C-alpha cells in the first residue's frame, strides 16, 4: 500500500524484478540546478502537493484516539478504525499500543482486508491482562504499493491487552500486519489506475492501485508508483522502458522533469509521456501537462501535452465510442440491431443456421462457431465476406478476439485453450495451444486445500500461480473441471475465465516467438462461486458477471477482485447466459429474452427492456470492439 509514511519512489527501481518491498523505495532527487525550484520528498515524509490542482479539496482525516477508561472491546473496535489512517507510520493506531509494541509495529507493509469480524474474551483474562479472540473473513490483501489481491480465507488470532502506568488498557500482543475492515477500505482509500505500455507498445494496459484519501493530492503517489514499475500481477503483459536511474523533479511552476532517460528513442519517449498523461488524467488531475525528459520536451511540438496529443494510446476509447450492436438470433443468423429493428446481415452469415456463437472486431473480422451433431467447428473470416474453417472439436466455446489482431481464442473440449489465426507466410488458418499450466496448478492447489480444510469446516483460499509460455501445456494436465467461457480484455492483457461456475482472471503473457500463456490466475469473486454462468469485460475494465441466482442475476466485479456489486436487475429472469457492454448500454440474455439498459441508469431508466426487433427471443448480444 502506498502509505503517506512511505513516499512513493520518484526514482525508477530498475528491471527486472519480481518482489518489491518498502526497502526499495527511494526519495525524489532534484538536480543541483533545480535547488529552490523543485520539491524533494524524503523517504519517510508525508506526501505533499508540489503545486495546486483543480481536483476537489480533501477534508482533513479525523484522528481517532483511545477513549479514556475504555474497555478492551471498545479499544479494539477503535483501533481497527484508526488502522485505516496510515499517516506518520500509523501514528493514530499506534496510540492504542503499549510503548514497546508501538515502536516496532507494523512489522509488514501489507494490509489485510477483512469483514464479518467477531470477538470474544478468552478464558483466563483478569483485571490486569485481557485477551480477545478475533475471527473474521479475509477478503483480500494490499501490498505496499496499493495492489489488491483477492483472498477467501478465515482468520483467527488473539490480541492481548494489559494496563499501562496510567491504568489504561493498551495492546501488548497483536498480529504484525495491518488489518482493516472492508468498510474502512471504502471510506479511506480510493482506487486509481496506472497505465503501462503493452509488450508491443501499441496500447496502454491498466494497473489498478489503492491510494489513501487523506493525502492533499495524489500526483506524487501516482508518479512514484509509475516510476517504480508495474505490479507483479500485470508484469508479464507489459513492458517498462523506464531506466533504473530515472528520477523526477517538479518545478514550482509545475513542470514534470524526468531525468536519466537519455536512452529512450522518440517512440519510447512519446509512449512514456502517454503513460504520464493518461495516468494523471484518469485521476482528474487536469492538463495540459508540461513534461521534460533530460532537459528537453518529449518531442518537437510537444512542449505541452494534452490527451489529444496521445489519443492513439487512449485506454478508455471503448468507453466513449459508440459501436454497432450485432446479435446471433435464436435460429443462428447474424443480425444487426438498430434503434427499432434487427435485420439479417447480407450474405451467408445472415441465414438461419449460420452460427452458434460469434465475436466481431471493429474492422469487420468475425470468429464464429457452428455445431452439427456431436461436433463443433470454429470459422474465421469477414462479416462482409466468406469464412473458413479453422478447427474442429467436440465442443468449442464462444471465440474471443485478441486486441489489435485477427487472431481469435477459444476453448476446445473444455480444457484446451487455442489461438487461431491466418498465417502471414502461408495464408492458411493455423491454431496453436495456449499454455494454461498455471490454471492447472491453481486448480490442483485449490482442490487440495479444499480437501484438507473440509475436515475443520473452513474455506480454501484461492491462490495465484504463474508459468512461462514454454512450460508444459498438455491438455491432460489441465484443470479437471471444464472451462466454459473465456473472454479477452479490450487491452488484450487479461483473460476472464469461467471454470466450474467460478470466475477467474489471468494475465496474457506473450513471447517474442509468438507463444501465449495465461499466468497469474486468481479467483476474483469467491462469493459467487458455483453460480457464475456468463462473463465479459466492461468498457471501464471491470467484469460483467451473469449468474444463476434468481435474486441477483447480474454483478459488476472489479478487475482486481476488490469489489463485487449487484446490478439492478428486477426484470431479469435467471439464469443470465450472455452479457455485453458498450459505451452507453449494458446487454444480457436471460431465460426469456435479450435485454438492454443504460450503462448509468437513473430513475425510470433503471429498467431492463427487451432489445427492439428481438423481443421475445433469446438472441446473444455481440458488441463490436
- 129 and 218, same domain (yes or no): no
Measuring CA to CA, which residue among 439, 389, 449 is closest to residue 415? 439
Q: How far apart are CA 344 and CA 352, in angstroms?
A: 9
* Residue 572 pLDDT > 80: yes
Where does the pLDDT of residue 86 fall: very low under 50, low under 70, confident under 90, or very high at 90 and above? very high
Where does the pLDDT of residue 432 fall: very low under 50, low under 70, confident under 90, or very high at 90 and above? very high
Taking the C-alpha atoms of 562, 568, 571 and 577 in order, what is their torsion angle to the nearest 10 degrees? -20
Q: How far apart are CA 391 and CA 387, in angstroms?
A: 12
Where does the pLDDT of residue 195 fall: very low under 50, low under 70, confident under 90, or very high at 90 and above? very high
**Is residue 232 within 8 Å of 240, Cβ to Cβ?**
no
At which of 164, 188, 212 does a domain end?
Answer: 188
**Cis before 288 (ω within 30):** yes
- 358 and 503, same domain (yes or no): yes
The pLDDT, as a whole number, for residue 477 is 46
Residue 268 backbone phi and psi in degrees, to 5: -70, -35
The pLDDT, as a whole number, for residue 47 is 33
CATH of the domain at 108: 3.10.450
**Most distant pair of Cα atoms in the chain: their distance:** 87
At which of 127, 156, 188 does a domain end?
Answer: 188
At which of 172, 188, 204 does a domain end?
Answer: 188
The pLDDT, as a whole number, for residue 61 is 63
Which residues are within 8 A (CB) of 206 and not within 5 positions of it... i.e. 6 or more apart? 193, 194, 195, 315, 491, 541, 559
The pLDDT, as a whole number, for residue 12 is 53
The pLDDT, as a whole number, for residue 97 is 97
* Residue 55 pLDDT > 50: no
The pLDDT, as a whole number, for residue 604 is 60
Q: Is residue 533 part of a domain?
A: yes
**Is residue 367 within 8 Å of 410, Cβ to Cβ?**
yes
- 585 and 600, same domain (yes or no): yes
Average pLDDT over residues 390-410: 96
Measuring CA to CA, which residue among 399, 393, 314, 333 is closest to residue 365? 399
Q: How far apart are CA 259 and CA 291, in angstroms?
A: 11
- 608 and 490, same domain (yes or no): yes
Weakest-pLDDT range from 13-22, 214-223, 261-270: 13-22
Q: pTM of the predicted model, to two decimals?
A: 0.85
Q: Is residue 127 part of a domain?
A: yes
Weakest-pLDDT range from 143-147, 322-326, 390-394: 322-326
Counted residue by residue, the chain has a size of 625
Residue showing cell 486486441: 403
Taking the C-alpha atoms of 495, 499, 502 and 503 in order, what is their torsion angle to the nearest 10 degrees? 0
Q: Number of helices (H) and strands (E), helices first, in the chain?
A: 8, 35
- 308 and 348, same domain (yes or no): no
Give residue-wise pLDDT tens across range 224-239.
899 999 999 999 999 9
Element (H, E) at 357: strand 357-360
Weakest-pLDDT range from 22-31, 217-226, 564-573: 22-31
Weakest-pLDDT range from 393-407, 502-516, 591-605: 591-605
Residue 484, domain extent: 325-445+480-622
What DSSP state is assigned to residue 348? Answer: G
Where does the pLDDT of residue 602 fall: very low under 50, low under 70, confident under 90, or very high at 90 and above? low
Q: Is residue 50 part of a domain?
A: no
Measuring CA to CA, which residue among 291, 13, 256 is closest to residue 145? 13
The pLDDT, as a whole number, for residue 454 is 55
- 128 and 220, same domain (yes or no): no
* Residue 37 pLDDT > 90: no
CATH of the domain at 558: 2.120.10.30
Q: Is residue 460 part of a domain?
A: no
The pLDDT, as a whole number, for residue 601 is 65
Give residue-wise pLDDT tens across range 302-344.
999 999 999 999 998 765 566 789 999 999 999 999 988 999 9
Q: Is residue 287 part of a domain?
A: yes
* Residue 39 pLDDT > 60: no
* Residue 156 pLDDT > 60: yes
- 385 and 280, same domain (yes or no): no
Number of domains in the chain: 3
The pLDDT, as a whole number, for residue 605 is 65
Q: How far apart are CA 322 and CA 306, in angstroms?
A: 23
- 330 and 437, same domain (yes or no): yes
Weakest-pLDDT range from 57-66, 133-142, 232-241, 325-334: 57-66
Where does the pLDDT of residue 109 fall: very low under 50, low under 70, confident under 90, or very high at 90 and above? confident
244 vs 178, residue with greater confidence: 178
Taking the C-alpha atoms of 401, 407, 412 and 418 in order, what is their torsion angle to the nearest 10 degrees? -120
Weakest-pLDDT range from 251-260, 454-463, 480-489, 591-600: 454-463
- 176 and 195, same domain (yes or no): no
Mean pLDDT over the full length of the chain: 85
Q: How far apart are CA 572 and CA 369, in angstroms?
A: 27
The cell for 188 is 479511506
Give residue-wise pLDDT tens across range 509-568.
998 788 999 999 999 999 999 999 999 999 899 999 999 999 999 999 999 999 999 999
Give residue-wise pLDDT tens across range 469-484.
444 444 334 446 899 9
* Residue 456 pLDDT > 60: no
- 399 and 494, same domain (yes or no): yes
Neighbouring CB atoms inside 10 A of 313's CB total 21
The cell for 436 is 494454461
Where does the pLDDT of residue 216 fall: very low under 50, low under 70, confident under 90, or very high at 90 and above? confident
* Residue 4 pLDDT > 80: no
Q: Is residue 7 part of a domain?
A: no
**Cis before 16 (ω within 30):** yes
The pLDDT, as a whole number, for residue 320 is 58
Give residue-wise pLDDT tens across range 343-352.
999 999 999 9
Average pLDDT over residues 138-142: 96
Q: How far apart are CA 190 and CA 208, in angstroms?
A: 10
Strand-pair partners of 136: 155
- 381 and 422, same domain (yes or no): yes
Average pLDDT over residues 493-517: 94
Q: Is residue 31 part of a domain?
A: no
Measuring CA to CA, which residue among 399, 387, 392 is closest to residue 376? 392
SS3 7: coil
* Residue 7 pLDDT > 50: no
Q: Is residue 26 part of a domain?
A: no
Where does the pLDDT of residue 502 fall: very low under 50, low under 70, confident under 90, or very high at 90 and above? very high
- 340 and 304, same domain (yes or no): no
End-to-end CA distance of the chain: 34
Amino acid at each position: 500500500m502506498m502509505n503517506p509514511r512511505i513516499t512513493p519512489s520518484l526514482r525508477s527501481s530498475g528491471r527486472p524484478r519480481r518482489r518489491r518491498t518498502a526497502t526499495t523505495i527511494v526519495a525524489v532527487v532534484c538536480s543541483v540546478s533545480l535547488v529552490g525550484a523543485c520539491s524533494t520528498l524524503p523517504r519517510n515524509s508525508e506526501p505533499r502537493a508540489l503545486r495546486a490542482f483543480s481536483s476537489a479539496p480533501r477534508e482533513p482525516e479525523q484522528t481517532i484516539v483511545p477513549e479514556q477508561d475504555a474497555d478492551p472491546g471498545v479499544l479494539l473496535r477503535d483501533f481497527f478504525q484508526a488502522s485505516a489512517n496510515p499517516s506518520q507510520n500509523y501514528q493514530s493506531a499506534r496510540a492504542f499500543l503499549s510503548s514497546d509494541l508501538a515502536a516496532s509495529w507494523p512489522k509488514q507493509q501489507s494490509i489485510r482486508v477483512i469483514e464479518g469480524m467477531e470477538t470474544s474474551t478468552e478464558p483466563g483474562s483478569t483485571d490486569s491482562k485481557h485477551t480477545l479472540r478475533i475471527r473474521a473473513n479475509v477478503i483480500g490483501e494490499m501490498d505496499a504499493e496499493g495492489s489488491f489481491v483477492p483472498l477467501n480465507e478465515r482468520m483467527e488470532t488473539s490480541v492481548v491487552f494489559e494496563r499501562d502506568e496510567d491504568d489504561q488498557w493498551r495492546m501488548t500482543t497483536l498480529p504484525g500486519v495491518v488489518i482493516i475492515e472492508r468498510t474502512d477500505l471504502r471510506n479511506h482509500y480510493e482506487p486509481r489506475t496506472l497505465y503501462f505500455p503493452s509488450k508491443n507498445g501499441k496500447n496502454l494496459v491498466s494497473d489498478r492501485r489503492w491510494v489513501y484519501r487523506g493525502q492533499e493530492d495524489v500526483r506524487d503517489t501516482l508518479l512514484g508508483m509509475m516510476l517504480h514499475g508495474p505490479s507483479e500481477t500485470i508484469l508479464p503483459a507489459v513492458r517498462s522502458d523506464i531506466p533504473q536511474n530515472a528520477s523526477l523533479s517538479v518545478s514550482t511552476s509545475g513542470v514534470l522533469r524526468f531525468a536519466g532517460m537519455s536512452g529512450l528513442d522518440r517512440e519510447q519517449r512519446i509512449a512514456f509521456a502517454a503513460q504520464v498523461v493518461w495516468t494523471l488524467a484518469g485521476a482528474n488531475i487536469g492538463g495540459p501537462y508540461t513534461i521534460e525528459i533530460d532537459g528537453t520536451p518529449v518531442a518537437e511540438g510537444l512542449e505541452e501535452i494534452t490527451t489529444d496529443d496521445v489519443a492513439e494510446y487512449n485506454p478508455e476509447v471503448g468507453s466513449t465510442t459508440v459501436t454497432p450492436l450485432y446479435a446471433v438470433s435464436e435460429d443462428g443468423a447474424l443480425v444487426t440491431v438498430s434503434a427499432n429493428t434487427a435485420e439479417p446481415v447480407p450474405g451467408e452469415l445472415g441465414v438461419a443456421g449460420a452460427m452458434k456463437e460469434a465475436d466481431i472486431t471493429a474492422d469487420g473480422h468475425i470468429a464464429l462457431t457452428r455445431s452439427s451433431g456431436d461436433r463443433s467447428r470454429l470459422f474465421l473470416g469477414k462479416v462482409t465476406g466468406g469464412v473458413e474453417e479453422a478447427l474442429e472439436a467436440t465442443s468449442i466455446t464462444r471465440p474471443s478476439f485478441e486486441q489489435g489482431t485477427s487472431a481469435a481464442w477459444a476453448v476446445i473440449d473444455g480444457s484446451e485453450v487455442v489461438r487461431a489465426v491466418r498465417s502471414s507466410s502461408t495464408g492458411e488458418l493455423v491454431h496453436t495451444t495456449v499454455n494454461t499450466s498455471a490454471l492447472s496448478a491453481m486448480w490442483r492447489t485449490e482442490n487440495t486445500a479444499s480437501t484438507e480444510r473440509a475436515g475443520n469446516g473452513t474455506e480454501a483460499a484461492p491462490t495465484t500461480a504463474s508459468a512461462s509460455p514454454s512450460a508444459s501445456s498438455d491438455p491432460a494436465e489441465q484443470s479437471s473441471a471444464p472451462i466454459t467461457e473465456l473472454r479477452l480484455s479490450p487491452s488484450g492483457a487479461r483473460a476472464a475465465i469461467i471454470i466450474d461456475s467460478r470466475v477467474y482472471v489471468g494475465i496474457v503473457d506473450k513471447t517474442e516467438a509468438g507463444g501465449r500463456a495465461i499466468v497469474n490466475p486468481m479467483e476474483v469473486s469467491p462469493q459467487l462461486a458455483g453460480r457464475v454462468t456468463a462473463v465479459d469485460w466492461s468498457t471501464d475494465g471491470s467484469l460483467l458477471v451473469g449468474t444463476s441466482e434468481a435474486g441477483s442475476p447480474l454483478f459488476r466485479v472489479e478487475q482486481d477482485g476488490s469489489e463485487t456489486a449487484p446490478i439492478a436487475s428486477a426484470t431479469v429472469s435467471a439464469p443470465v447466459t450472455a452479457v455485453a457492454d458498450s459505451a452507453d448500454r449494458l446487454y444480457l440474455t436471460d431465460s426469456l429474452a435479450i435485454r438492454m439498459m443504460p450503462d448509468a441508469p437513473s430513475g425510470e431508466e433503471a429498467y431492463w427492456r427487451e432489445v427492439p426487433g428481438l423481443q421475445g427471443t433469446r438472441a446473444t448480444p455481440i458488441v463490436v470492439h
